[in-house]
Amino acid sequence: MKTDMGLIFEEQTRVVRRCLFDVHNEVGVGYPEEAYHRAFVACCRKRGLPLASKQTGRLLHRGTLVHTFQFDVMVWEAILLELKALPGGFTQENYFQIISYLKFWEKSLGLLVNFGQERVKAERVPFAAKPLGVSEDYEHIKPLLSKELRAVLRSTRAGILEVAKLHGLGYGELICGKLLAVEWQHRALTVRGGLFSPVQFEDERLGKFPVDALLVDEQVLCCVSALKDEIGPYELGKAQAYVRALNLPMGLAVNFGKRALQIRGVKPPAR
């Protein structure tokens, strides 16, 4: 993110980076995250940088605690830092984590920091709340909808839209799934996670394996993703496979995406 004068918090970021380099040079490689966290806090305090460390925040929905956040460090009440010690480098989940923190604390810049390699890496992660766009497609499942199933789907959809309206975009899929579960239960729908699906090859049954989805009112399977550009072939294929394996009439692929909420109806694939 840039302003007319350049990158936001550009000078403050330079100061923070110097502290990060000093910590890495002094402590070295191979220690757990907590060692670098303590060293960074000590460095900031010695250099007079105003900071807060390991503060928590509670995300509520319908009066229910959905998730507890805890950031590593915030400097100048403006820049959030998430400190890691990862020999293999950052993962997608690390980016989702800091974006969720930025959204919750309403900050516009985070630094994702890795002390776990030969050189310290500090990557800028900007965040700006976006207007909520909604894209829906139910064409594939319309012929499958009985009167009862249509009513469940209507309530399920209303819950998804309400969560998006109240909380917007920016949270990762774990948090979005928790928000949806609370909202659906508020609407008197049953919600089940922790599902297991049978897997077989031809006529051989291979066992039951975890399913990354929520089952609403025992009829509508919802596969929830977040912070993706769009619902892609993988998300659609996963939902189709689960719907078929669990012998359900239909499902939904739901993406609280980077720019819009997307909902796609999914029917079981033909064998």
For the record, the structure tokens of 8 come out as 């936001």
H or E element: which one contains 260? strand 260-266
pLDDT of residue 5: 43
DSSP track, 139-194: TTTGGG--HHHHHHHHHHHHHHHHHHHHH-S---HHHHHHHHHHHHHHTT--EE-S
**Per-residue pLDDT, 129:** 87
How many other CB atoms sit within 10 Å of the CB of residue 226?
22
- pLDDT tens, position by position, 235-263: 999 999 999 999 999 999 999 999 999 99
Q: Return the pLDDT at 6.
A: 54
Span 120-153, pLDDT tens digits: 999 999 999 889 999 999 998 999 999 999 999 9
Partners of 122 in the β-ladder: 113
Q: Is the pLDDT assigned to residue 2 strictly greater than 70?
A: no
pLDDT at 7: 77
- Mean pLDDT across the chain: 94
Q: How far is residue 111 from each of residues 29, 58, 144, measured CA to CA in Å?
A: 19, 22, 47
Rg (CA), the chain: 22
Query: In this structure, what token pair is assigned to residue 185?
Result: 């239960």
What pLDDT was estimated at residue 252? 97
Distance of alpha carbon 75 from alpha carbon 83, whole angstroms:
13
Q: Dihedrals φ, ψ of 186, to 5°?
A: -60, -30
| pLDDT for residue 271 is more than 80 | no
Q: So what's the pLDDT on residue 200?
A: 85
pLDDT band of residue 4 (cuts 50, 70, 90) is: very low
SS3 track for 58-105: EEEECCEEEEEEECCEEECCCEEEEEECCCCCCCHHHHHHHHHHHHHH
Decide: 260 and 132 in contact? Cβ < 8 Å: yes
Contact 76, 44 (CB under 8 A): no
What are the pLDDT digits (tens) for 156-213?
A: 999 999 999 999 999 999 999 999 999 999 999 999 999 998 888 888 999 999 999 9
Residue 270's pLDDT is 73
Rounded mean pLDDT, 29-43: 96
The ranges assigned to domains in the chain are: 2-126, 133-266
Pick one of 2.30.30, 3.40.1350, 3.30.410, 3.90.1530 as the CATH number of 2-126: 3.40.1350
pLDDT of res. 229: 92
Other beta carbons within 10 Å of 146: 10
Reference 170, options 77, 70, 69, 261; nearest CA is 261
Q: What percent of the chain stands above pLDDT 70?
A: 97
Is residue 96's pLDDT more than 60? yes
Joined tokens for residue 261: 């909420």
Look at strands 2-3 and 51-53 and give their pairing: unpaired
The pTM for the full model equals 0.91
The answer to whether 82 touches 98, Cβ cutoff 8 Å, is yes
Three-state DSSP at 119 gives coil
- The answer, yes or no, to whether residue 1 has pLDDT greater than 80, is no
Q: Using one digit for the tens of pLDDT, what is the confidence trace for 42-55? A: 999 999 999 999 99
Confirm if 222 and 152 have CB atoms less than 8 A apart.
Answer: no
pLDDT above 90 covers a percentage of the chain that reads 89
Distance (Å, rounded) from C-alpha 163 to C-alpha 185? 12
